[in-house]
Amino acid sequence: MTTSYPVNLKHIKEIHPDIDLPLLNDLVRPERPMWTPAELRDLTDAVTSELTARLLEIVRFDPDQRWWARLALTMGMELWLLSWTPAQGTEPHDHGGAAGSFSVLLGELDEQYLFPRGPVTSAVRGVGSTVAFGPDRAHQLRNRSDQPAASVHAYSPPLRPVREYRVLTDFAGA
């Protein structure tokens, strides 16, 4: 999910054609160069709660690999829809210096997360759960249930290459 951009465009805005609706156009602000974790939280929460039916029409579940679609992109933010069949998950990773947020649209996800020099913490994130975080956090997500899950994720700045770790405790906030 790494993105590259044309350097000379200040106010790009791309929106997935299946959800190019007035509400999403109002939420996606191309003039905003950086989004705070709180602003990203408000975005993923609004998208999952207000566009649920449309997102459920778009999402696909692939038992062989995680599926994703980019919903929106500006120079300051990108928004993704991800699906998770049972047992699918990520490797431990950070977000390459980006702040982020995710909201659970369908099912539930287990999250293990870590701040520099802190303990590994675990939480189950169910439908309607929203988590926002700054750039100083690493985590791992997994669908441990026997039902599919889907989630909406936003990052600011748009994702740079994420750093994966062998185990979550290898993250030192570097």
Please tell me what DSSP assigns to residue 96.
T
Q: What is the pLDDT of residue 173?
A: 62
CATH of the domain at 116: 2.60.120.10
In a domain, 8, yes or no: no
- Alpha-carbon gap, residue 151 to 17, rounded angstroms: 19
Spatial contact of 143 and 107, defined as CB atoms under 8 Å apart: yes
Count the domains in the chain: 1
Is the pLDDT at 90 greater than 80, yes or no? yes
Whole-Å CA distances, 88 to 146, 147, 159:
11, 11, 21
140 C-beta neighbours (distance < 10 Å), count: 21
In a domain, 110, yes or no: yes
Q: Which residue has the higher pLDDT, 82 or 5?
A: 82
Q: What is the pLDDT of residue 2?
A: 45
Token pair for 75: 């120079």
Is the pLDDT at 67 greater than 70, yes or no? yes
Q: What is the pLDDT of residue 97?
A: 92
In a domain, 174, yes or no: no
pTM: 0.90
Domain that holds residue 84: 13-158
Model confidence at 8, pLDDT cuts 50, 70, 90, reads very low
109: alpha, beta or left? (left if phi > 0; alpha if psi -120 to 50): beta
Is the pLDDT at 159 greater than 90, yes or no? no
Mean pLDDT score across all residues of the chain: 91
- Alpha-carbon gap, residue 24 to 43, rounded angstroms: 9
- Enumerate the H helices of the chain as residue ranges: 22-27, 37-50, 52-58
In a domain, 125, yes or no: yes
